Structure 1
């Protein structure tokens, strides 16, 4: 069966949510299984040869509940003027970027995965280093790519694993990145949360791209000469962008003092906020949503106390304000209980 139990639950929770958090492990793993079924195409360097048939692509998109235009992936009739999208080695980076950026109602932050920011950066780097423009890398090409990309300091391990699969296309590369991605760093302290909150406050409909790029540059994901890749445009509202930004920062920003209070399990906090508390899915908690959230958050809930301290102006609060509230409730407890979930790491 395609989805594991946690993913099935998340499909139900996210059925009405209209944005993507990137690609999770189940979504990537199923693509790899599909890829391995068609060994003739996967061993070929022919640029226009499909890696898997149109019907398999469409079935996969339906399984992940992709909400975009599926018709462009279907086999076109001979007289049709509409250009079809063939998923092959050359187009795989574009296909993965499309999946990460577009809505899939199976997206769930409880699952291990890569944010849309990561998929965009890693795939753009893959395209840049694909000098032959055939979508596949040999061992030497992989070594050059890995030297140009900072992926959790696991370059040597990745090289050993990927070399066994040569030639490697963008899908196998992305799979390897996820496997080597650090598992235990998902922390945010107040300074980091406030940094994201300030970016959100200075933005309008969408997060300010220049300020967001400047923030990404501090994370050392790519060398300086590739910093232009960190300028990413999003069609999502700023309230929703902020949620993914905090998840992304929690996994890549090491700029916090471990002896000071911080929030762990950021993915779960953002999941709870967006799925259980933000009933109207606008990325904010209004006063009614806030009161419902605080009833569950604190056994010693006192409506007036919470409202005066965390909702003083009656203005709906964003995810950054919510995280700061959770941090202030018990700063000594760095593993605060969150709806009883067990983190995946």
Structure 2
């Protein structure tokens, strides 16, 4: 298997993603800038959701009927944007992304630490290492994050107006003005996110079986306790935070499956020694391809959508594997785990 590099980029950019999930760094930076410039009004948020995120019928999570700056709860906005299907292309293979599950979990841990100090929506630099320890970051990773923020803190010039705002927030000194908001924290977690080992054939086949047999809710999403077990197995947080991994979702199981496979590719600590491995970059590439061809955003490729992808792969992207290009013989819908299982043929 090899990409036909001379034409693959052209092929990719001709495709339009049907939807995207989670939040990437560009999206988080835009939100952070909006808040720091005190331009968080209903009009600005609605415009942001529509024009930058491609959400066609945005509903702003305002706490009150007010157009005053910063009247939107930042945590609620971040969760709404993470879970909402966005028509703009996220390009997972190009951008590091926090999935909605990760956004919800990280914000829950952040909020617990902030509330324990009677702080509404922010942490100090001194409090940050405790949160990162709870999320099982290594000491060297924590030191690197703190050192980077200290440099940023020294460069910041505090105006008289900023000083008065700090007093209103009950800070004790001018240096305490350097605060970490929910959006800042998500950017930190995004920057420290592991690249991961990808997925091998055995893991992908387990996900095929998982999707076919896992318990589902009445709304058709995966049972929260089943998802919780997957996140616990990653070892990405102290056990006292396990209850925060009981995610509530009204999304379809097929859409949640894609998210779980992406998180597993990045966070699983299983090193692969055999052939037939899709590294994280390739998993993200195929996720891009999958959502680009999933025109109705239901988490499945219809027979026609799958055939369309194979025709593109045959013509533009891949050399034919020994067993021939994949075929969806029974004409059934293809979920992401089934799709990746068929794609392994190009890597063996």
Deviations along 1:251-282, one digit per CA (max 9) or x if unpaired, are 11121324433112211101101213x34433
Q: Secondary structure at the match of 2:119?
A: coil
Shift of 1:161: 2.6
Q: 1:174 aligns with which of 186, 190, 194?
A: 186
Where does residue 196 of structure 1 map in the other structure?
207
Q: CA deviation at 1:67?
A: 4.1
Distance 1:290 1:210 in 2: 32
Please, which of 80, 84, 87 is the counterpart of residue 102 of structure 1? Answer: 84
Measured at CA, do residues 146 and 318 of structure 1 come closer, stay the same or move farther in structure 2, by a change above 3 Å? same
* Residue 273 of structure 1: aligned partner: 290
Matched, 1:293 2:309: yes
What is the SS of the residue equivalent to 1:291?
Answer: helix
Which structure 2 residues correspond to residues 146-295 of structure 1 after superposition, within 5 A?
146-151=132-137, 154-163=141-150, 164-165=152-153, 166-182=178-194, 184-185=195-196, 187-203=198-214, 204=216, 205-264=220-279, 265=281, 266-276=283-293, 278-295=294-311
Q: 1:155 to 1:295 in 2, by over 3 A?
A: same
- Structure 2 partner of 1:338: none
Q: Is residue 92 from structure 1 mapped to residue 74 from structure 2 by the alignment?
A: yes
The 5 A counterparts of 1:21-32 are 21-32=21-32
Count of aligned residue pairs for this structure pair = 297
Q: Is the 8 A contact 2:136 2:236 kept in 1?
A: yes
Mark the CA change 1:12 to 1:327 in structure 2 (over 3 Å): closer, same or farther. closer
**How many Å apart are 1:12 and its aligned residue?**
7.7
After superposition, the Cα gap between the structure-2 partners of 1:234 and 1:316, relative to the gap in structure 1 and judged at 3 Å, is: same
Partner of residue 59, structure 2? 70
Calculate the TM-score normalised by the size of structure 1: 0.75
Change (3 A) 1:58 1:296: closer
The CA deviation at 1:52 is 3.3
Match for residue 40 of structure 2? 52
- Alpha carbons 1:93, 1:126 under 8 Å: kept: no
1:87/1:269 CA distance change after superposition, 3 Å: farther
Q: CA deviation at 1:189?
A: 0.8
> Does residue 13 of structure 1 match 2:2?
no
CA RMSD of aligned residues (A): 3.2
Distance 1:142 1:11 in 2: 43
Residue 318 of structure 1 and its aligned partner are, at CA, apart by 1.3
CA distance, structure 2, for counterparts of residue 91 and residue 280 of structure 1:
31
Distance 2:77 2:14 in 1: 22
2:128 is the counterpart of 1:112: no
C-alpha distance 195-233 of structure 1, shift in aligned 2 (>3 A): farther
Q: How big is the shift at 1:157?
A: 1.3
Q: 1:64 to 1:237 in 2, by over 3 A?
A: same
1:191-250 Cα distance to aligned partner (Å, 9 max, x none): 222232222112442223222211111101111111111111222211111112211111
Aligned residue in 2 for 1:313: 330
Point out which structure has higher relative CO (alpha carbons under 8 A, 6+ apart): 2
Distance in 1 of aligned mates of 2:210 and 2:130 = 34
SS in 2 for 1:294: helix
Conserved? CA contact 2:23–2:99, under 8 Å: yes
